[in-house]
Amino acid sequence: MSLTRRVLASLTSAAALTFAAGVAQPAAAAVPSHRCAQGYVCFWTGDGFQGEVFFYQPVSDWCDVTPTQPARTIYNNTNRPWAFYRDTQCGALDATLAPGTWKTGLESYSWRS
């Protein structure tokens, strides 16, 4: 094979690999932890980390309303567990999230430690 054909074959292979890498989709359940800083609980308006996001740095463990009504996805990037509720009075438990965990498909209106 001539030098020109080898170079052309190499370029064609590289272009094919670049194209294939460009169309790869990210993992559907990937957690956008870079969007939720350490020490914060982050709330999304939609399922699966979609919609508007609200960042909240907890300062007390009293019952408080979530910053979006309802919160559909929540990521707990703090060092303590938090409970999330389906009402505004912290009465009907929706989910409890350990540190560094998240959940989607929620309908949370309030939360506390």
Q: How many domains does the chain have?
A: 1
In a domain? residue 11: no
Structural domain harbouring 84? 33-112
Q: Block means of pLDDT (10 residues each) for the chain, length 113 residues?
A: 47 44 45 82 96 93 95 97 98 97 97 95
- In whole angstroms, give the CA distance from residue 82 to residue 101: 10
Q: What angle do CA 14, 15, 17 make, to 5 degrees?
A: 65
Residue 87 tokens, joined:
């009402």
pTM for the model: 0.72
Which pLDDT score, from 0 to 100, does residue 30 have?
62
In a domain? residue 54: yes
Which pLDDT score, from 0 to 100, does residue 35 have?
85
In a domain? residue 13: no
In a domain? residue 101: yes
